[in-house]
């Protein structure tokens, strides 16, 4: 089966977001955007305690895209202006459709801070097309144990289908646009060929470990960690050189102009200004500080 050739390989350099240092593989010097994916942050692992808890993000707005959290380790409390309040645990995914506007807050739960532990996750910004940027906001929380799982015959590869479809297995998340999202756990010498729709742009991100893609390209922690594929094959092969965890994302591109500012992802600067005004006027709802 013909593999998608590799378009770009990128590192996952550290950036500072206030008191938090995290990895930012997208956008980077090598890869500006993998349409429709605008931003990818990999935070942690952080040692959280009562003396050290920088990851308490108070109420803040979003508009025009879908902020998604894949929680790898730890426990977070989500609250939003729609009235949702949920505890997101390791392996869970929260998928927020900001649409015309939402205010949310997230932080490690008080119980988790008191007992202490490691916090790690992925924050993904998935763009919405112009026609859907002002749809009503929505929130989905899918639990780790509820996802459909694909296992390799030798048991060395486990693929969690979060959104979209793979080999007839569907994700628990309902998406606004054609998108696939899989969490891949692979043991040493585990191998798998993952099919990718020809119409999708796609990327593979290494959270930890060491893998070889398409028999030649290595992904290692603190070295190259992200691959963007061309749309010229049926998918890609991955082999574990040791126990590893990866995130695969693909989606049909919108090919629209993207304008971002702070927590907003729109198509024009005028729409950004309107978003700022609407937030200040309370049109995105309200969420009191905890």
- Tens-place pLDDT, residues 152-190: 999 999 999 999 999 999 999 999 999 999 999 999 999
**24 belongs to a structural domain:** yes
| Side-chain-facing half-sphere of 260: CA atoms under 13 Å | 15
Q: What percent of the chain has pLDDT over 90?
A: 94
Q: pLDDT category, 77, cuts 50, 70, 90?
A: very high
Give yes or no for a cis peptide into 124 (omega within 30° of 0). no
Full domain range(s) for residue 100: 6-280
**206 belongs to a structural domain:** yes
**289 belongs to a structural domain:** no
Burial class of residue 125 (count of CB atoms within 10 Å of its CB; 0-12, 13-18, 19+): buried
Give yes or no for a cis peptide into 45 (omega within 30° of 0). yes
pLDDT at position 210 is: 98
Distance of CA 170 to the CA centre of its chain: 18
CATH code of the domain in which 154 resides: 2.60.120.10
- Tens-place pLDDT, residues 210-257: 999 999 999 999 999 999 999 999 999 999 999 999 999 999 999 999
- Angstrom CA distances, 36 to 22, 114, 116, 210, 218, stand at 22, 38, 36, 27, 25
**121 belongs to a structural domain:** yes
What's the alpha-carbon Rg for the chain, to the nearest Å? 19
Rounded distance, CA 246 to CA 211, Å? 9
- By DSSP bridging, strand 57-62 and strand 169-170 are unpaired
**1 belongs to a structural domain:** no
pLDDT at position 55 is: 84
- Tens-place pLDDT, residues 88-142: 999 999 999 999 999 999 999 999 999 999 999 999 999 999 999 999 999 999 9
**288 belongs to a structural domain:** no
Of 138, 43, 58, the closest CA to residue 97 belongs to 138
Rounded distance, CA 104 to CA 113, Å? 20
Overall domain count for the chain: 1
């Amino acid at each position: 089966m013909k593999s998608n050739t590799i378009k770009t390989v990128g590192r996952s350099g550290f950036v500072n977001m206030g008191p938090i240092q995290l990895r930012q593989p997208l956008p980077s010097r090598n890869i500006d955007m993998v349409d429709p994916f605008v931003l990818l942050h990999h935070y942690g692992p952080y040692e959280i305690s009562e003396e050290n808890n920088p990851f308490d993000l108070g109420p803040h707005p979003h508009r025009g895209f879908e902020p998604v959290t894949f929680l790898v380790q730890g426990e977070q409390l989500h609250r939003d202006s729609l009235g949702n309040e949920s505890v997101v645990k390791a392996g869970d995914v929260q998928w927020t459709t900001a649409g015309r506007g939402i205010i949310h807050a997230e932080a490690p739960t008080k119980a988790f801070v008191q007992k202490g532990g490691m916090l790690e996750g992925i924050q993904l910004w998935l763009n919405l097309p112009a026609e859907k940027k002002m749809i009503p906001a929505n929130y989905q929380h899918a639990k780790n144990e509820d996802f459909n799982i694909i296992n390799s015959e030798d048991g060395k590869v486990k693929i969690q289908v979060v959104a979209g479809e793979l080999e007839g297995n569907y994700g628990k998340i309902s998406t606004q646009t054609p998108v696939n999202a899989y969490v891949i756990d692979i043991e040493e010498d585990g191998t798998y060929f993952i099919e990718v729709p020809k119409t999708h742009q796609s990327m593979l991100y290494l959270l930890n470990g060491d893998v070889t893609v398409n028999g030649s390209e290595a992904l290692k922690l603190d070295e190259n960690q992200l691959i963007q594929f061309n749309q010229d094959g049926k998918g890609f092969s991955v082999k574990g050189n040791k126990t590893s965890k990866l995130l695969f994302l693909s989606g049909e591109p919108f090919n629209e102009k993207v304008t971002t500012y702070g927590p907003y992802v729109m198509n024009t600067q005028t729409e950004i200004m309107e978003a700022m005004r609407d937030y200040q006027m309370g049109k995105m709802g309200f969420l009191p500080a905890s």
